[in-house]
Each structure stands twice: as structure tokens, then as C-alpha cells.
Structure 1
Amino acid sequence: MARHGVLPTRQRSVGFSILGVIGEILLTLAAVCALYIAWQLWWTGVVAERTQMETRQTVSWSDPASSGSGTQVAQPQQGDPPVQPSVVTDGSLVAQLYIPRFGLNWQRNIVEGISAEQLAKHGLGHYPTSQLPGQIGNFAIAGHRGGYGEPLAYVDQLQEGDPIIIRTQDYWYVYRYTKYKITVPEDVAVVSPDPFNVGATPTHRYITLTTCEPRYSPTPATHRWISWGELDYWAKVSDGVPKELAATDSSGQVKFAVQETPSVFARVSSLTDVLMWVMIAYVVIYLAALVAWRYPALRSIREGERPRPDASLYGWLLRRQPGPVVIQLLLVAILAFAGAVALFQWAFPWLASNVPMFQLMSAYVSVE
């Protein structure tokens, strides 16, 4: 018999309860899959951005020459360009890449090596078998088009004559985009010293950008998008910035157009710290609600004021949070956020590194 004032409710059968729980599990898995996509396409880029910032800080390259409150425009130099760096090691910073077509503040690091680790951590990698900036031949670079900061996401927007600018410690190398080719991964000739006359002694200074095609693919991309450019001129960093990277402000002063403005998320040093503070917030709110209200939902069920609910994972979790419904929902939201942070920090990187299905989803794009 139901207590006076409480309307009896008809509980679902065991079969329907089981189906309900299965449905909740499937919804949870769908949310985890959506979070994995967000991790792959967005958070890996945040991590890459933070790593690139830290790398630039460790090398402490000097700023381009300035004059008063403005920046000088470096004059193009005559003669053969110097080659820099003279010595490279795997993972070391080779150069920085600027492509104005991709955005006013667009810049990426180029490190030595095209392993999955280097491309994931740093964005762009230099083919060790190709030439260095300034050398006659082909300065070849590999980069992701989706995920890990997607440095080469918009290569299809390049137009003939667009500047592709390389900065080493002391020099600028301004290349001009010429053309592209869509090919298969086995076509290694595209990164040869003379990609247009394979086997011949090179006489020009080329740059090659290699990335995946199509941009998004559930399995490793079947093709590669190859972009080529040729050296236009070189300049000294001590003389200023190339005119292609110079801008004039309202007062007429020349400024370096590229300003390093890290995203809010890139300033987060570690998700472990975020998780710690989130859990501290949960414990504080939980204990405060426990002292003030305890478990009103469980009490009302125990005393017969509310009917015993059907089986539900979400309902079970909600009822075990103290306080009124608003506080309960807040606590559950904090737990869900903490779970997402844990997935980003530990679970998803492990899956992408160890589970074959997730390894196949990784956007490793170098031409091998």
C-alpha cells in the first residue's frame, strides 16, 4: 500500500530495466567516442602548441632587428644564401615556418625527423635525407593535416606566388609557392633533390610540403598532397623581418605582423593539475551539501514518500549526491568533467598508442 498522498507508479519489467541500462551504457560510449574525436582533432593541437612554445623558449632565438618602437624591414640579400643550421639532431629545432595565407599570426616549428612522435609533438618535421634551408636541392617537410595542430590543413588554399617563409636562428628564406600534386605514399620522388627531374643534379632551391589527402579519413589517408615552392630571396634576421611579414600600424610604425598569442588552453601546464583542482572542488561541495542536506532523494525513497525508482546508472549516481537537485546535478557535472579530463590525459593517448584500431585513426602523414 502506498502512503497517503503518494501516487503509486508502475515499475518497468526487468527486461525493460535491462534495456534501459544498456541504452545508458551505449549513450556513455557515444559520448566517449565524441570526446575521442575532440581529443584527436582539438586537444592534440593544444598539446602541440604548448610543446612548440616551450621549444622556442629553450632556444632563445633573438628577435628581428627593430628601429625605435618599430621593426625594420630586412633587405633581400644577393648571392648564395648561407645554410643553417649546420648541425641537426633528431627532434632539434631546425626552423620556423610562416605562411601568411594561413592567417596573420600563423607560425609553426619545424624539427628534425618525420617520426610519428616528432610530428605529433611538434607539428612539422624535416626529412633527414633532404636538404636544409638555403641549400641547393629540396628542403622537404612533413606535417599533419588533421589533428596535432593540423599545420598543413589548408594547403589546398595556397595560390601561385604565395610566400612560404622559413626562419632559422639567423636567416630568413622566402620561397614562393608554385604548384601542387596529389600522389600516393610510395611516390618518394616528390622529396628528391630535384623533384621535377629525378636523378639529375639539382640547380634550384626548392621547398616541399607533404601532408595527407583527403584531410579527414577514418583510416590512413590513401594519398598525399604535395606542395612545392622555389626560393625567391634570403635576408638576415639581424636586419629585421621580410616585407611579407611586416605590417604598418595606425601610427605608421612598421611591426612584425606575427605576434605569438597562445590560446588559453595552451597555457595550461598539465591536465593533472586541472583534475586535482576539479576533484578538490567536488569534495568541498559534496561535504558542504552533506552537512546541510544529506541525501534527500534516498531518504524520501526509504520513508516511502517517493516510489522506488527503476534501475538506472545515471539515476543511481544522481541519487547518491547530497543536497537538492541543483546541487546534485552540479556534482554529477563535476564528476563528468573530471572523467573527460582523465580520458584526455591518460586513456586516449594510451588507446592511440596501443590499440590497433585507434592507431589506424592516427593522422600520420609523412611520405615514406
Structure 2
Amino acid sequence: MKIAFYGSSLVSAYWNGAATYYRGMLRALAEKGYRITFYEPDVYDRQKNRDMEPPEWCKVVVYQPTLDAVEQVTSEASQADIVVKASGVGFEDDTLLDRLLHHARADALKIFWDVDAPATLAELHASAEHPLRKALKTLDLVLTYGGGEPVVDAYRTLGAKNCIPVYNALDPETHHPVSPDPAFYADLAFLGNRLPDREARVEEFFLKPASLLEEQNFLLGGSGWEDKAKPQNVSYIGHVSTTKHNAFNCTPKIVLNISRDSMARNGFSPATRVFETAGAGGCLITDFWEGIELFLQPDEEILVARDGKDVAEIMASLSPRDAALIGHRARDRVLSEHTYTHRADQVDAIFRTYAEGRAEATQ
């Protein structure tokens, strides 16, 4: 089957947290025989900050941020068996959805794939006239990369025919153990861009432990933290290219995952960072969110903290040997249950079930 997928960017992870998810998922689907074209707008300097070239397993079409270009690329949806509009594409999202529904064949499977359900649902609840809210009854299915039952119920209440979570996972060919890099040495490291929905939690779970453990070394990576007040034992390294993520995840004694407020409230939303770190064999502390145990076993494969004091206590008591053992167990778990091959099996079954149902309805 042929998929036309409209998203933020496949070739650039620059201010684009969904890139890892897109890459792992679409590559695994391509290995199952799907022919995929990914359409992305040239916005936010992403094309100037590519961290990969268009892959062999997916055709990439980069279009200019104009309405004429949107019309052109959406007209190509008529050639696809499955048409996917992702959330947060970045240019004229509402127009893009409208034109895709116009151009898609009647027999094509039409999907909205939400990579930031808390943000999308907040918009839908704020406006009864939101274009996506009106389109839900026309779409065949909503897929989300997290959220569990709260998100599923919310989408169904708003009119979606169905909503199914397809969680983040690991691409073992991309994220794996490498040799340690002295540039990333630390007792605790955190990597994440500065966002309003995350900053207070970074203060609590990262900066507070740093102030409590003056003798330990903390490493902060990600964009936007230049002018943030930091304890003296925090080293700030700015943006970290995806090509260096493996070293970042396996060099420190511990890596910290901090969810955005909305993701933590919804639960069942493991960040890509969780699987990237586990794939590299890193020991991970995460802030608490409901559903962690579905992915990694607390205290055995992942460490869980409810506040900054918990983080500091874990760091003070955890030996390097025990940290390495936790990272090893986490890697074993995600390789056995949480790779993008596992997720692609799920999505393939969903696509085939819905395609067969649509074909029967047409007949």
C-alpha cells in the first residue's frame, strides 16, 4: 500500500521532537512493504539544520510555505491508499487538512496522527469551531503517540470514530551503546529544549538536585537555556546533534527524563528520550507519570522520582555498578518489547483491518 504522510520534518530534528518517532515508525513500515512519501514544509530553518539526508526507504518532498505549494502537495494525496495528516506540521495546518480531505480518494484510509495530544486536545476543547474538530467524523481514525485512555476517551467524545495510541519506541540501528565521550561526563545529564510547559519541572527535577549535591557534576543540553540561572556545578553545552545522542546517553552515570507538564498529567506518554537512553544502555531517572510500568519496570529497569529531593537521594545512593546494571536491563526490555518493529506490527494490523473494512463497505 502507498502512504502519503504530511508531517513537520523527517530529515531535520531541529526544534522537531517528532523526528525520531517519524523515522523509526516509517522505516519499520517501509520494511513491511509500504511505499511512503513524506511531505514537509520548509519552515523554522529545519532544512538548514538537517541531520540526515532523504533515506532510501522513504521519498521526501520538501515544499515551500505557500498556499499554492500546499495545494500542489495535497493533490498528490489522490495517488495514495493511506493519507496521514500529522499534528504540528508548522504551516497552514488547517488548510492542509482541508485540502487533504478534498483530494484523498473515497476509498483511501484517512488518518490524523497526533504527536502532541495534550496540546491538540486543548485547542479542540477551546473551540467548538476548530477545523480538526469538525473533521473528526470524516477521518477514519486518530492515532496518537501517547496518552492512554484519557486521550482515547477525549477524542471519542469529540467525535472521532476511534483513537488508538501507538507509543514511542526504539530504533536499535539508530540508538545503541557507543564508546563514552569525555565531553558528556557527568553524574546526571539532561537533554531537552527550553519550553514553557517544561521549565518549572526542569527547575525542580534538575536544578534543585544540582543545588543540593554541590560535589556532583550536572550536564544540561538543549536549546534556549543560555540565560537560565544555574548552580556552578551545572555545565551547559547547548544543542546536541542527534549524531551525538548515543554518547550523551551512555557516558553519564545517570540520564534524566523530564516530561512536559501536559504529558505528565495525561500519563502513558513515554518520551522518545526514554527509549533512546535505554537503547544506549544508559541508566535513566524519570519524573513520575502514570503508566511507566507498561514500558519499563520501576527500580529494576528505570528509576522514578516524584520531586527534586527524590532525584538527589537516588544520585547519592546509587553506585556506578548498579546504574550500569539498570541500564543493561532497560536495554534488554526495550529490545524485546518496544522497538519500532513491534510498533509497526501494530500499525500494519490497524491499517489492514481498516482497509478491509473500507473495502467491504464499498462493495
Same fold (TM over 0.5): no
Query: Shorter-chain TM-score: which interval?
Result: under 0.3
Q: TM-score by structure 2 length?
A: 0.28
Q: TM-score by structure 1 length?
A: 0.27
Task: Flag the structure with more relative contact order, 1 or 2, with Cα contacts below 8 A and sequence separation at least 6.
Answer: 1
Higher helix share: 2
Instruction: Report the structure number with the largest CA radius of gyration.
Output: 1
